[in-house]
Amino acid sequence: MSRQPAYQTVAAALREQILQGDYHPGQRLPGELELGEHFGVSRNTVRSALDRLTAANLVHRRRGSGTFVAEGNGISHSLGSLRSLTQIITDLGLEPGIGMLELAVDPDPPPEVSGFFAPGVLWRLRRVRTASGRPFALMDSWLPDHIGRHLDPRRLAQVQSLYRVLSEDCQVTVAEATESIHAEAAGEDEAHALTVALGTPVLFMRRWTYDPNGRPVEYAESAARGDLYRYVIKLRA
């Protein structure tokens, strides 16, 4: 018998049905009462399960109409969210992983990195993030010395979430970030890490991250496969 909360069990079952095609993109899911009867749980439990799938962009809700399977596939990330990529991948029913991890002092950081932080030693953390063994993003993070020197690569490889490690091991809280996104041709590093042809269009992201006091925590650059990764923005009138 599973020890996980009931809403996680329901979310996992619905996720599997969606990913294996039992429910198709654009199709309406059964109502909350019907799902509750099917799984033998309360309506609140079903609602919590659907909240989890909504956060993973597997489903979306239409007020007064119900819950529908989202169009498209691949790893999704909602703009305006600082959720961990590890959690996003997990919510999609995929196995998060790190294909490569390097941490070292950067003796010659790019000008945009040096300009973001106060003068001093900077560390570069390079990772290839994977989902069920498939590489989807090459990520470079630069961190100031008072953070970088306390990071343990083995701990990062185990936990996978940088922000969780910053919080638990370094007592650094990420509160706010600005991110820019554009398309760019894959260079040699990106092509090799993401197993795509040289010049393939990839989503290129820059992120400037701050703690609650407005102090710089991380400058990040990421290149993600456009066929596996997409950004979602929700607009409200």
Rounded Cα gap, residues 201 and 54, in angstroms: 28
pLDDT of the residue at 2? 44
Residues forming CATH 3.40.1410.10 domain(s) in the chain: 75-232
Distance of alpha carbon 143 from alpha carbon 162, whole angstroms: 11
Per CATH, which fold does 75-232 belong to?
A: Chorismate lyase (3.40.1410)
In the CATH hierarchy, which top-level class contains the domain 6-69? mainly alpha
pLDDT of 140 strictly over 80: yes
pLDDT, tens digit (0-9, with 9 covering 90-100), for 184-193: 999 999 999 9
For residue 16, the model assigns a pLDDT of 78
Alpha helices in 129-180 (DSSP H): 145-148, 153-159, 162-170
156 versus 56: the higher-pLDDT residue is 156
142 neighbors 207 (Cβ within 8 angstroms): no
Strands 134-144 vs 176-185: parallel, antiparallel or unpaired? unpaired
Give the whole-angstrom CA distance, residue 113 versus residue 141: 10
Average pLDDT, the chain: 85
Comma-separated ranges of CATH 1.10.10.10 domains in the chain: 6-69
Tell me if residue 111 falls in helix, strand or coil: helix
Cα angle 86, 88, 94; round to 5? 80
Percentage of the chain surpassing pLDDT 90?
Answer: 43
106 versus 58: the higher-pLDDT residue is 106
pLDDT digits (tens, 9 = 90+) for 31-45: 999 999 999 999 999
Distance CA 54, CA 50 (A): 6
Angular region, 109: left φ>0, alpha ψ -120 to 50, beta rest:
beta
Query: Does pTM surpass 0.75?
Result: no
